[in-house]
Amino acid sequence: MPDTIFIESLTPDAFAPFGQVIQTEGAHHYPINAGKTERFHDLARVELGGVHPRPLISIFRGQPYALPLSLTLVERHPLGSQAFYPLGDAHWLVIVAEDESGTPINIRAFRPGPGQGVNIAMNTWHGVLTTLDKETDFLVVDRGGDGNNLEEHVFSAPLIVTHREPSA
């Protein structure tokens, strides 16, 4: 029987070892533009390393996955962070893992709530963009520039990501 990873709610404290949660709740903010705009300031730390790094802003359009999810690989970006923020209503997962000598361990799956995005720290193992119900667009901020900024790890056997069974 494959190992099972149960989906958790996304909170800033639970996600802190892997990066930052991007949300307005609890964020430092102040009015700008003659009081017509509220600026939620410095929500995530963009990390850029390597030769000639530059920030990229892209839109990713994710196709939906079904649960339970068969997780076969994770990836990481050794030269930069990667931020994901949904453009509209989205049901999606963020899958992350700790590193032990180049191998992902202690894999966790988080389900962001409304108005939440994430910034995955540089060199952190994570799953691919995983939308759940429908095709969804995401604003993505990551690194461009010289050098290889992608490493993949394929699991010898798939892991199952799903909801925890309700208690009887």
Q: Give all domains of the chain, ordered by start, each with its CATH number.
A: 4-162 (2.60.120.480)
CA separation (Å) from 21 to 9, 80, 85, 117? 12, 17, 10, 6
DSSP 38: E
Give the pLDDT confidence of 86-129 residue by residue, as tens digits. Answer: 999 999 999 999 999 999 999 999 999 999 999 999 999 999 99
Q: Which is higher by pLDDT, 168 or 60? A: 60
Query: What average pLDDT score do residues 134-143 get?
Result: 97
Give the pLDDT confidence of 6-27 residue by residue, as tens digits. Answer: 999 999 999 999 999 999 999 9
Question: How many angstroms separate the CA atoms of 146 and 48, rounded?
Answer: 11
Q: What percent of the chain has pLDDT over 90?
A: 96
- β 92-100/103-111 pair status: antiparallel
Give the pLDDT confidence of 31-47 residue by residue, as tens digits. Answer: 999 999 999 999 999 99
Task: Count the Cβ atoms, other than its own, within 10 Å of residue 72.
Answer: 14
Q: Both tokens of residue 53?
A: 């790094």
Query: What average pLDDT score do residues 135-153 get?
Result: 97
Q: Is the pTM of this model over 0.85?
A: yes
